[in-house]
Structure 1
Amino acid sequence: MTTLRRKTIAMLGATLTGLVILLFLGSQVILINSFDHLEKEELKEDMQNARNSLYWDMEDLERKTADWSVWDETYYFVRDNNSNYINTYLVDETFINQRISFVLFYNESGTLVYSKGVDLSNMTQASPPLILIDHLEDSRYLLEHDTRYSRKTGILYLADVPVILTSQPIILSNEETPIGGVILMGRFLDQAEQDLLSDKTNLSLEVLFAQETGELRENTGIKLSSGEEIYLSLLNRSMITGSILLNDIYGQPALTLDVSSPRTIHLQGKATVIYFLMILLFVAGVFGSVTLYLLDNSFFSRLNDLSTDIKNIGESRDLSRRIYEKGNDEISNLSNSINLLLESLEESRQLVLKKDATIKAIIQAMPDMVFQIRRDGTICSYKLSTGECLYESPDGLPDISIEDVLPKDIAIKEINIIEEVIRTGKMQTMQYQVPVKGESRDFEARIVVSGEDEVMSVVKDITDIKKAEEAYKKDILLREIHHRVKNNLQVISSLLSLQSGKFRDKEVIEAFKESQHRARSMAMAHEKLCRSQDIEKVHMGDYIMSLAEYLVSSYGFSRDEVQINLNIKNVIFGIDTSIPLGLIINEIVSNSLKHAFHKGPGKISIEIYPEGDDFIMNISDDGTGFPENVDFRNTDSLGMQLVNSLVEQIDGKIELDRSKGTEFRITFKELSYVRRDCRW
């Protein structure tokens, strides 16, 4: 039960661990995402406030500048540049009180009339922004107003410092007069001004030149009510920054408003996840402990008692003993099933004793030899044809082994088979030859398991059966080989015929057709061998007649159009000679059928006859003669190349006579059949 208990603990632990991990990961994704969403919403609100505060400052500057631009004193000042206006109104206290960093007055011709600057941080007079004055000389956009109500207010980046700037036309307050000039007022967004904005909004914010921020941060898809998008980046694990890309006074994206905020919500979310994990671990520990306690009391202890009872029965070998287990569950049902099994085993034991006596009688009546052999090859007992019984051991165990009665190589092979039979429990057979009274005899041994480390080997003399089988197998096998070769060649012929149907080129189709005929001629030779009484000989007369008729028909000629005359009597060759001759006839007759009978009917003659130690084969036709300008021994024709090669294969010579049509004369010898050794 210890192993089962360990496995149960391992499975329970793995299940609880997996459950805790899944719940933790799921909660982490859900909770952290939720807290991050809240964090983004809070940052969105902060960004909205920061942007609104910046825009409010811009509107405030615009309103203050409007008071100067529609003032009659200002209108006359840009015309006469009187010093009284400067001394009375353009004093430092006015700029400091209204938080104006500089002012520029231009007359109606666009000439700078007066400029003044104030350092709001030190509350002292400062130089006007010369870089802005130079910028206005190059770009006149801010000095041009079409109507008296025109306002050009926005942010501009000057001298590494962003500035809020407004440009307004100078007009009289009560008259529809032409524009008298332009006034520009601005407020530098230096660090002091940005700190002031931060104090007003309780946010850490900063206005930067867009190029200083580098590439845009990750676009989170958060949009403000104005349509502007927020770009987020993490400064560190505890701070997050949001940026808004702002357009300058020319409407071009040039500055960014950055707001930094502590990640309080995100950190609170991580702390919540950790608390949740601790609760999960505590619950899993309590649940696992309670589950193991219940399993021990209701399952493992009872299984342990059951295992002990079964072990005692096995050690005592007393099948009459029974197991008693109270209850009405699976374990008690298992106890009842084991008791039924013990009853069946007890009954089976009695049946085995009865069958053992029956088997002894059967073995005594068997005519075969029987040996009982141990794993190491020692013969325990035996029954020979003398009638000695396997179950009637001689006085004392016989001190012999397999190597004492069989040749060493056969004995080693049988010991290996015995080892395999004992290992797998499956019957194995082996056949071997041993000399008996000067004659080699065949035996078959069937080996089966008969004990824990013992086998029974039943040995039978199969010499006569073997001889009969060998003779029958050879004949059947040879016929089957020829039959299968014939079928395969016919299949090749059919495949070539089917394949040729995919082409339209006559030369390609003709090449397929010629290959088909070659395969067919070889198939016919094997067919004749398959049906012949002598499996090794082909009757050439029947073979060549079938081949010639097939070729005439395949080229579309009738028997009246092309006659076949054969003069082949009692000519019988082996397969090594028959197939080359059939291929030669196939090529020459095919050539005649393709080229010799364009002008009308004709005749093809084939004869084979012996002449001394040689044979002569003449193939002739009375059609159009073989071309004079073609050397049949040196031609591009694959058919004639094949004919020459096959003639060499049968150690023959070939001659061509063009005097009467076309006649090929081939002198050859029958090839001797070389017997190949076959091992079965």
Structure 2
Amino acid sequence: MKIWQRIFLMLIVITIGAAVIFGIFTRFYLLDFFSHLETEQAEEDLSTIRRNLEREHDYLFRTLGDWSSWDDTYQFAWDQNDTFRSSNLMEESWRNLDIDSVLIWTEDGSILYSYGGAEKQLPVFRNAVSVDKEYSGFLEQERLSLVAIRNIRDSSGHGPSRGWFMMSRNFGAEEIASIMDLFPTPFTIESVTGAASEAMGFKSEGLFDHQTVQVRDGNTIDGFYYFKDLFGNDSFLLKTETERVIYNRGFQVLRFLIFFTLAIVAVSLAVFVYMSYRYVISPLALVSGTVRKIIKTKALDSRIPIKGDDEIGTLGQDVNTMLDTIVEDQEALRESETRLKQGEKFGRMGYWEYEPASEHAIWTEGLYALYELSPEQPDSPKDIFFREFMPEEKTLVQDAVESIRRGGCYRYIHRIRLPDGRTKFLKEEANGVFKGSELVKVVGTTQDVTEVVLIQRELQRSQEQLKSINIELEGMNRELQDANKRIDHLARTLENMLHLTTHISDTVQGNVTDFLNQLLTISLFLVENIQYASVFVKENKQYVLRYTRRPKMSKGILPQVEAPLFEPLKNRPIHIEWDKVVKGSAFDQIKAGLGAYVNDLKESLFIPLTVKQEVYGALSLEALNTYPGKIQEEDKRIAESLGNIGSSFLTLQNALAAQDQFQKELILSMIQILEIYDPFTKGHSENVAKYAFAIALKLKMDKEKA
């Protein structure tokens, strides 16, 4: 999926997600919030109408109370005097009081006064009322009325009851309309039977007792209030109808807001996609196309056009800079390979690889040169090797193969016979590369040591002649023998150093693991007073043991040392005698980090391995407790030279260091080793001096200095 497709898909997902969230928010919050507001409004409307009805009720009850407890009324109920009747019980009085019907009767049922046809209701009132009890509420017979009934008593309230006084107000459509003029919420009062009230879920616990609201549809909310009639028998239902103005208008606003938001989102998406394509995707496509072209054509001289100084422009500049660096590194590598091939030629050595599974072998040009053959000749390296090998020495090959399969390495010298009849002595040195327990490759070097062997044989003949010299020259003879031994060791040292050079020349085919393992092997060979050699690699903030030439090393021991404790490695090697370490010192902390690794060690010499002036790790050269000798200054100098070689290889492997400087350091290190192993080089050993002089000429040094 392309970037613009991912961006567009992401925007669609974000838009849909926002719409879903907004929809859920609208459905479960805003609309519910609007409904809640309208429900509260409906309850308020119902309460307002109830308050208006209560005011009507209170007005009627107060008016009745004034008349029923008036002493003149009390007297009229006793003597029915016409004066009270003519002056008070008048139609005009009732109209002024907004009373529709009046009825006064005695306890025996005799009607003393009637107005508005109230006498028709006497049977209902007479059978239902009780002495010392007041009544008020709605009553529906011919029409719905608000009725109040009280006993007729004197103003003190202590006199005996002389009958009943009833007042009522009609409560039909006209009266309801008058209330609606004050508060324009439609409402009705309906008669409801007991069964119907139970079915509707209303309570009947007294007048104006309980109210509830219900949503009828999208336009109306109904309010209900159930209450008893005048005598607590028949029930009435007050019903209001509140229009859902908030909900409908809010829904319309939300719908408009949704459409408006969608329009803005659509426009924003279009603008965003256009801007992304123009300023991001299109420039990235240009960068990608140029990079693919470079990969396909390998035209490292191609460059990305830079448009603007934004992040993509910076990316293009970085890619161009990277291409410049690659070109420079390739040129440096070509020069380095040329120098290393020259070094291989001058050192008369070659590098080879062999894969047992396929029996495929690779030789360098230097190795073909040792056999005085051209790399273009048709025979395979394997055929050439066994063809030129002396038959009587082929057991060396069998022993070498067995050594490799056991995980070791081998080193031997054999002869070959050239087509012109000449004989050469070649030194073979190799080790195996394993994948798990499977041997996948054998890598090694071959060196022409004919001159060294001939020198050794000549020395042997000289030694035999010296044995016949008079006993008085015995001391000189021993001295010459020592010199011969030094030369022999020097020859082997030079061979190993040249072998190491060959290994370095194959950095393209080799790897750091092979080199460091070889460096450990050569370190054990060159440094006299050590028995073990290891390499600690700096990983994060610790130095961890990664390579070792220590037999019977337990897999459970993986020494780790905190990086700050090895900080002095940046400036110089570290030499630690473990039995002299002061408790609590930095060396004691290193000892604690190494743990059981140093239990059988007497002393260790840590040589820094650096890459670009940064510490890559440390070459550790170690002497056992049981070894009688001690690490000497010349051992340290050799170790430092090996550290320089290792650092130079690591620098070359990273293509960050100048290869000519590496070559000089390598050969100077070999000259130092020559001086260490033969302090008489400058006058007492012509053969050794010849090697030193030849190496100095290869460095193009001044002949006088050489």
Query: Aligning the two structures, in what range does the TM-score lie when normalised by the shorter sequence?
Result: 0.3 to 0.5
TM normalised by structure 2 equals 0.41
TM-score by length of structure 1 reads 0.43
